[in-house]
Every structure is written in structure tokens, then in C-alpha cells.
Amino acid sequence: MITSLVTELKCVTCNALRKVRSDGAPAQNWMTCEVCGNEDGILDIHYDFEAVRAAWADRPLVERPHNHWRYAELLPLASSGLPWQWQVGWTPVVNVDRLAAQLGLKQLLLKDEGRNPSASFKDRASSVGVVHAMQCGAKTIACASTGNAATSLACHAALAGIPAKIFVPQTAPEPKLAQLLVYGATVFVVEGTYDEAYQLCSTACDQFGWYNRNCAINPVLVEGKKTGGLEIAERSSDFGGVPDWVAVSVGDGCTIAGVWKGLVEMHALGVIDRLPRLLGVQAAEVAPIKYALEHDQLPKPGDGTTMADSIDVAVPRNWRKAVQALRAAEGELVCVSDEQIEAAMRLAGGHGVFAEPAAAAALAGVVAAKEANIVGTQDRVLAMITGSGLKDTRSAMRAAGQPIRIPPTVDAVAAALET
């Protein structure tokens, strides 16, 4: 089996190197550092950039399909048998110039990840995870998720014809549960927090031999998320160059770390000549990564919560990668309230982008960072809109208000227009 151009896996805590198998084949045991264990031994995947450059010279990116499999050499997968027909990635970048003017920014771009197959950014990770699982010979794939990772896993498991076992906390919004069930997954609603659902899933994977899609400990998943950063870099020439800031909402920490890894790799490969800064955004009531950034450790989990269920993560599993990314990117982390998130849902919607609360949080963070003079008037900003508003219609209705109810007469229309 010929693989992509992975050279080694490196522990983010102790820097220990883990060699890939001599035939380069993906292995299911690529999960965590043997020294540091599951809690701290998160691995990072490295590639042979010389070989990637040569492959891209041989078959230029511009000649490849418009989905994230175009970056095959930078994915930890065997290149034969990639599902090129799965339309993941290459999501639209909406240049919201009126909103930029309103907020006092030079440029504002919304990258609409809601256009992925199951309507979230997580499709990037799940599609890569499912292919990796298949290449490892896994018979069942499992994950714990606040919602979107699970629905995207169920979607891609269904595409691949592999059974999916999903653990969700009882707070998961109903549309996400509906998606899971329609995709045919076995769904366990765990009577507890996300953290408890996560622990249970890991234990079940060990006990039943399932492939663990959990992004925090599975480095392969971050490689899927990375494609968001690869795309921002590759397409930056379409919207006036590398943005000054890339804003990403932060829950477990994997998404911001993944996007950053993609940007860094494209910089190393010479596709972009400079790197943006990262603007991390957390919910005011659930902001453990803000604490970790300042104290180099996680706080005791609080009992705060947020309407943005996708980032309602009190114990982020990948906080180290997120903190490392924010520091390397000269990043800033701002916190936003649910009211600010609702306002951002209306702002994005008013410019043609329907964002779920956690996705709108990134835009809310841009607004907050502009008000705090973290982001300046000459800055060009790209916000990752990580999931569709259709994922959580109850929150959308709360943010958007009520329609005008009238009897079926034109007089009633006229009267309503006057009020």
C-alpha cells in the first residue's frame, strides 16, 4: 500500500517521535504517545514537504477536483482508493463588504462550512477518519460529540457502508439527533455531560475494538480539519491575499489547531508568503482555553453553559494544541456572550449566511475584537462559519424573532407595514 508522504508522528507534550510502519500503511494504533498516554500524548503528523512539492509540480493543484481530496499528499491516507466523489471542502468564501464597512474593517470574509455534506466543518475530519478506518480494516467506527462531529461521522460512515456508534450528551439539539438517526447510526444519548459521553465512548472503543473517531486523541482527524487552513491559503489570492486574521470558535481546540496546521504547512510549502494571526473565540460562560492560555493548564470545570452547543466544552481534550496554535500565531482569544452570538447570527443571516450559534460565535468574536481594538480598521478578516443554522432552528428562532401573523387580506399587509 503506497501512502501519502507521512514521515513521522510527534508527541506534542514530550516531542517523542513515533515512526510510521516501514511500508507506510496507516495504522489504527496511531492514536497517542506511548510515553505520555491518552490524556497528554496527543500526536502531530509530519510530512515530507520535498516530496509534496514534487508531487504538486507533477500534478498542479489547479488541475485537481474542487474538494479537499485535492490535498491527498498532505493526508495520512493511502492514495489509492480515495473517495474523490465525496464532495467535502472547497466551501464558498463570501465577501461581505457591506458588513465590513458597517463594522469598520477593511475586508470581512465568511467561509461557509455549512455547505459541506452534513452541513458542518466536521465533515472534513470525519471523511478523512472514515477513510482511515476503512484502510485500517476497521469494522465499526465510533465517536462522542456535542453534535456536528457525530452527524458528519454518521453521514460518511453511511457513504462508506460502515456501522457508526454515536455517543451524544443529552443537550444535543434535536435537528442533530434527527440527522444521526436518518443516517442510520446507532445513537446513545448519554444522561450526563459531553465529558461523560466522551469517556464512555473511549472505554467502549477499547472494549469492543471500534475505531475511535474522537478528534482530540486521533491525530488523523486533525489532518482533515487542516484542509480548512490549506484551502484558505490556496484560495487567498482570490480575495486579495492572506487575511490578517482568521477567526475560529473554540470548543475542544481541534478545529483552531487544525486550521493553523494547514496554514503553516502551506507557508512551509511556499504557497503563501506570510501567515495570518488567529482570533480564537470562546463562550463567556465556557472558556477553559482562555484560562489555559494564561495558566498553561486547564481550570476546574465550571458549571457555566452556552447556547453554542458545539463549543460548550468544559474539559477541552485538545487544549494543548489549541494553546500552541494561538501562541505560534500571535493569536488572541476573546469571549462572547450568548446575546452577542445571537446578534452575530442576525448579522451573518442578513448577508446571506445562515450560521449555527457556535459558527456565529466566530463572527461575534470579530465584532468584539474590533470594539476592543484588537482588530484594526485596516485589517482583513476571515471568519470560519463552522456549521449551518439549520442545525439548531430553535436557537435561530430565538435569535431572529417572530414573523408577522396576518389574515389573508392586502389591507392587513398594509396595516402591518405601517406599524
Q: Considering the complex, state which of residue 28 and residue 38 has its C-beta at the smaller distance from Zn ion.
A: 38
Q: Smallest gap, in angstroms, from Cβ of residue 149 to Zn ion?
A: 24
Q: Considering the complex, state which of residue 36 and residue 343 has its C-beta at the smaller distance from Zn ion.
A: 36
From candidates 10, 16, 171, 376, binder to Zn ion by CB under 5 A: 16
Q: Considering the complex, state which of residue 33 and residue 74 has its C-beta at the smaller distance from Zn ion.
A: 33
Full strand arrangement of the beta sheet holding 277-283: 93-95, 107-112, 380-385, 245-249, 277-283, 332-336
Would you count residue 14 as binding Zn ion (CB under 5 A)?
yes
In whole angstroms, what is the distance from residue 45 CA to residue 25 CA? 14
* Cβ-contact 171, 310 below 8 angstroms: no
In whole angstroms, what is the distance from residue 310 CA to residue 315 CA? 13
Gap between the terminal Cα atoms of the chain: 69
Nearest to 319 by CA among 195, 196, 144: 195
The type of residue at 384 is: M
CA atoms within 13 A on the CB side of 382: 29
CB atoms closer than 10 angstroms to residue 28: 17
Q: Smallest gap, in angstroms, from Cβ of residue 17 to Zn ion?
A: 10
**91-130 positions binding Zn ion, by CB under 5 A:** none
In whole angstroms, what is the distance from residue 165 CA to residue 201 CA? 9
CA 217 to chain centre: 15
Q: Smallest gap, in angstroms, from Cβ of residue 31 to Zn ion?
A: 12
The type of residue at 279 is: L
**24-43 positions binding Zn ion, by CB under 5 A:** 33, 35-36, 41
Q: Considering the complex, state which of residue 16 and residue 177 has its C-beta at the smaller distance from Zn ion.
A: 16
- Collapsing DSSP to helix, strand or coil, 93 comes out as strand
Q: Smallest gap, in angstroms, from Cβ of residue 9 to Zn ion?
A: 10
Q: Considering the complex, state which of residue 32 and residue 282 has its C-beta at the smaller distance from Zn ion.
A: 32
* Cβ-contact 319, 152 below 8 angstroms: no
Stretch that binds Zn ion, among 6-14, 77-85, 161-169, 204-212 (CB under 5 A): 6-14
Would you count residue 74 as binding Zn ion (CB under 5 A)?
no
CA 96 to chain centre: 21
- Collapsing DSSP to helix, strand or coil, 189 comes out as strand
- Collapsing DSSP to helix, strand or coil, 84 comes out as coil
Q: Smallest gap, in angstroms, from Cβ of residue 15 to Zn ion?
A: 7
Nearest to 120 by CA among 336, 317, 382, 310: 310
Q: Smallest gap, in angstroms, from Cβ of residue 16 to Zn ion?
A: 5
In whole angstroms, what is the distance from residue 158 CA to residue 174 CA? 20
Q: Smallest gap, in angstroms, from Cβ of residue 28 to Zn ion?
A: 19
Would you count residue 182 as binding Zn ion (CB under 5 A)?
no
From candidates 11, 20, 109, 382, binder to Zn ion by CB under 5 A: 11
Q: Smallest gap, in angstroms, from Cβ of residue 41 to Zn ion?
A: 4
Q: Considering the complex, state which of residue 35 and residue 412 has its C-beta at the smaller distance from Zn ion.
A: 35
Stretch that binds Zn ion, among 7-15, 96-104, 261-269, 293-301 (CB under 5 A): 7-15
Q: Considering the complex, state which of residue 10 and residue 106 has its C-beta at the smaller distance from Zn ion.
A: 10
Cell 469598520 sits on residue: 104
**257-316 positions binding Zn ion, by CB under 5 A:** none
Give the cell for residue 172: 444535543
Q: Smallest gap, in angstroms, from Cβ of residue 298 to Zn ion?
A: 18
Query: Total number of residues binding Zn ion (CB under 5 A)?
Result: 8
Which residues of the shown chain bind Zn ion in the complex (CB under 5 A)? Answer: 11, 13-14, 16, 33, 35-36, 41
